Amino acid sequence: MKLVRFGLKGAENPGIVAADGTIRDLAGRVPDFEGEGLTPAALDKIRAIDPMSLPAAPAGARIGPCVARIGNFIAVGLNYADHAAESNLPVPKEPVLFNKAPNCLAAPNDDVVIPPGSVKTDWEVELAIVIGKTAYHVSEADALSYVAGFAVCNDLSERAWQTEGTGQWVKGKAAPGFGPLGPWLVTPDEIADVQKLDMFLDLNGKRVQTGNTATMVFGAAYLIHYISKFFQLDPGDVITTGTPPGVGMGMKPPVYLKPGDTMRLGIAGLGEQSQTVIAYPG
């Protein structure tokens, strides 16, 4: 299934993409896509509904974030060897973890706002994992059974805040809107192999990132297993899994986002995002 949320910001309805490509409205039939609304039982309830029996979303409806709310928003750094190289950092021997603020969550096609004081806002196309059932000390072999779905994430970053001064990655990753997620939440049965997905990001119409999840240092199943050793993952938690090379920080000279820039990014089978960069108002 391809699950989606649509409507005005803060008032989105849950929906499903029907076989004909139309978005169908699930409001009133199932809970919104957060917490218990993402468990296996909740998804099975959706599977039992014929999408064509549902009303269609209004034509041109805004697409919201594919989940309504995030508990933990966990990110993995340097998870592609070639990205580590462009960052002048060693390939990690175990996953590098940090948090994004849950209110980083943003819609896939809404404007990206450069935070006040930012001078080095950067882009990162990433595969995101959305957890569907409580995971604590799970095995790598069973890890993917804990997944509600996969989605595209743009792990936006402010590199000066991340790496300069006292550093700390969370400072450069947690601004409002720094986690566009969607357009769809794609259930695992739709993905033949999550470790064989092409991914890309275009800046102002020019391809800057090209990659494939096959080159991840640590795959999706291992990441769930590894993270669950340290704390409990709950339904609705998001893990964003690292980016291939081609970020602005790695260019010579570096290139950072400025008002008027556009980004288009996507992952095979998971859809695409399209964003325009704007200045912070006021």
Per-residue pLDDT tens over the stretch 9-18: 999 999 999 9
Over the range 180-192, which residues count as b (16 or more CB within 10 Å of their CB) and which as e?
Answer: bbbbbbbbbeebe
Instruction: Measure Cα distances from 154 to 50, 216, 261 in Å.
Output: 32, 16, 15
Give ranges for CATH 3.90.850.10 in the chain: 73-278
Lookup result for tokens 């095979």: 268
| DSSP assignment letter at 216 | B
**Cβ of 96: how many Cβ atoms within 10 Å?**
17
Q: Cα–Cα distance between 194 and 179 in angstroms, integer? A: 20
- pTM given for the model: 0.96
Its sign, for the CA torsion 1, 178, 101, 138, is positive
**Cβ of 136: how many Cβ atoms within 10 Å?**
13
Each residue's pLDDT expressed in tens, for the chain with a length of 282 residues: 999 999 999 999 999 999 999 999 999 999 999 999 999 999 999 999 999 999 999 999 999 999 999 999 999 998 988 777 777 778 889 999 999 999 999 999 999 999 999 999 999 999 999 999 999 999 999 999 999 999 999 999 999 999 998 878 999 999 999 999 999 999 999 999 999 999 999 999 999 999 999 999 999 999 999 999 999 999 999 999 999 999 999 999 999 999 999 999 999 999 999 999 999 997
Q: Cα–Cα distance between 181 and 12 in angstroms, integer? A: 14
Lookup result for tokens 């340097």: 78
Q: Cα–Cα distance between 123 and 236 in angstroms, integer? A: 24
Instruction: Measure Cα distances from 250 to 88, 205, 206, 244 in Å.
Output: 9, 19, 16, 11
Strand partners for 50: none
Superfamily covering domain 73-278: Fumarylacetoacetase-like, C-terminal domain (3.90.850.10)
Query: Which pairing describes strands 271-278 and 112-113: parallel, antiparallel, or unpaired?
Result: parallel
Strand partners for 98: 75
CA-wise closest residue to 220 among 196, 252, 244: 196
Q: Give the three-class secondary structure for 271.
A: strand
Q: Cα–Cα distance between 67 and 64 in angstroms, integer? A: 8
Cα 27 to its chain centre, rounded Å, is 23
* Contact present, 226 and 242 (Cβ < 8 Å): no
CA-wise closest residue to 183 among 148, 150, 220: 150
